[in-house]
Structure 1
Amino acid sequence: MRILLIGATGMIGRRVADEARRRGHEVTGVTRSGDDGTAKADALDTEAVAALAEGHDAAVLAVAPPRDGSDPTGPLVAAARGVFEALRRAGVRRLAVVGGAGSLEVAPGVRVVDGPDFPAAHKGEALAQAELLEVVRAEAADLDWTYLSPAAIIEPGQRSGEFRLGGDELLADADGNSLISAEDYAIALVDELEKNQAVRRRITVAY
């Protein structure tokens, strides 16, 4: 499989690239800087991304919201819309979106981000990722998308291959902990690209 990976040098993007290449897939990494051997393109540059996407079988959107104190939602949603249009132009239908955990539910209609104990420092980013999910659902119906939310905590760790998959509800262990390593998240994402079991759905992964 040829995979276009937009946001290839982030914490999750790097691990998705490693996992895909480990399985023999060809990965074209894309970043705004063009560092680390990636192609240089901004997700907002529809023409450039479309040109890079030509001939690929799938794309992964692994772009994080801005973390400089500016509005995180507008740029993230604009980047996604630019990528949607680029994939349409290139004839690439399969898209995996690296999402957030804040929009997962802890009770019917109650999201993680809505809880009184949700960290204020991360709320803007969580709300941006939640808005991204709604935009994907509303505007990418012609694409074969999957939005993959991590557990409440995702960080570098071990590649175990042992985890659970869920839908719109937050997954936690018996002690109430919701964790996943970035390495195992990458396994789940590449698994989905290979198996296509959650097309046009949001799924989540946790221990």
Structure 2
Amino acid sequence: MKIAIIGATGNVGKEAVAEALSRNLEVDAYNRSGNPVEGVQAQVIDFTNVDDVVEVIDEHDATIISVVARESEQANREIQAAHRALISAAPSGRFIFVGGAGSLLDENGNELRNAPDFPAIYKSEADLFGEIYAMYKEAPASLQWAMVSPAPVIAPGVRTGDIKLDLDRPAGNFISTQDFAIALVDEAVKPKHINKRFTAASVDEQAASGK
């Protein structure tokens, strides 16, 4: 199986590369700068260039997109516009993209990003992916996408290999980037959430955190 990973040098992207390689998958890694990615040669791509992104998606069995923007409001708008353009371009291939946890629902059915104690540092990104998720829900059914949201807290830790999934509500409070990569590659290899958003958490959160 041949998969592509766009955003392959980020905290999540590099773990997705490592996870895919550990399963003996054929991996093409992409990032904006062409910076090296351990285990595979990196190629340059700008996610805002929709023609290049569509070409990558259509040339692979599955594509994982791990592109986030926190630098500025303008950067966030560019990411949103890129997803809008991707929907309009309607690639024929299947892709899975990483979204934030802010649009997940609490026990009362309210989005986490609207809670008074939601961390301000993540609010812009949470709003961005809430809007992006809404766009994909309105996309034509022929578009083969999946959005994967992490647990409310995600950080580098330990690959426990034991994860749990849910759809609209957090599956747990924490997931390591290594365990999150499992959810991404699992979906790439054996899709179960086409045209859906799902979320993942580590079962043993303390072990996954490495503490």
User: Which range, TM-score by smaller chain?
Assistant: 0.7 to 0.9
Question: CA RMSD, aligned part only?
Answer: 1.8
Give the gaps of 5 or more residues in structure 1: 173-177
Q: What is the aligned partner in structure 2 of residue 110 from structure 1?
A: 110
Q: What is the aligned partner in structure 2 of residue 184 from structure 1?
A: 179
Give the gaps of 5 or more residues in structure 2: 203-211
Between the aligned partners of 1:74 and 1:122, the Cα distance in structure 2 is: 15
Between the aligned partners of 2:160 and 2:89, the Cα distance in structure 1 is: 35
| Aligned-pair CA distance for 1:140 | 5.4
Give the one of 50, 61, 67 matched to 1:57: 61
SS class of match (1:15): helix
Q: What is the aligned partner in structure 2 of residue 137 from structure 1?
A: 137
Give the one of 167, 187, 199 matched to 2:194: 199
Q: 1:97 is aligned with what amino acid?
A: F
Confirm or deny: 8 A CA contact 1:72 1:128 kept in the other structure. no
Confirm or deny: 8 A CA contact 2:154 2:176 kept in the other structure. yes
What percent identity do the matched residue pairs reach?
A: 36
Q: What is the aligned partner in structure 1 of residue 5 from structure 2?
A: 5
Q: What is the aligned partner in structure 1 of residue 206 from structure 2?
A: none
SS class of match (1:5): strand
Between the aligned partners of 1:167 and 1:54, the Cα distance in structure 2 is: 27
Matched residue count? 198
Per-residue CA deviation, residues 104-137 of structure 1 (Å, 9 max, x unaligned), is: 0003430111111011121011111111211222
| Aligned-pair CA distance for 1:79 | 2.3
Are 2:75 and 1:80 equivalent residues in the alignment? no
Between the aligned partners of 2:11 and 2:144, the Cα distance in structure 1 is: 25
Q: What is the aligned partner in structure 2 of residue 175 from structure 1?
A: none
Closer, same or farther in 2 for the Cα pair 1:146/1:50, shift >3 Å? closer
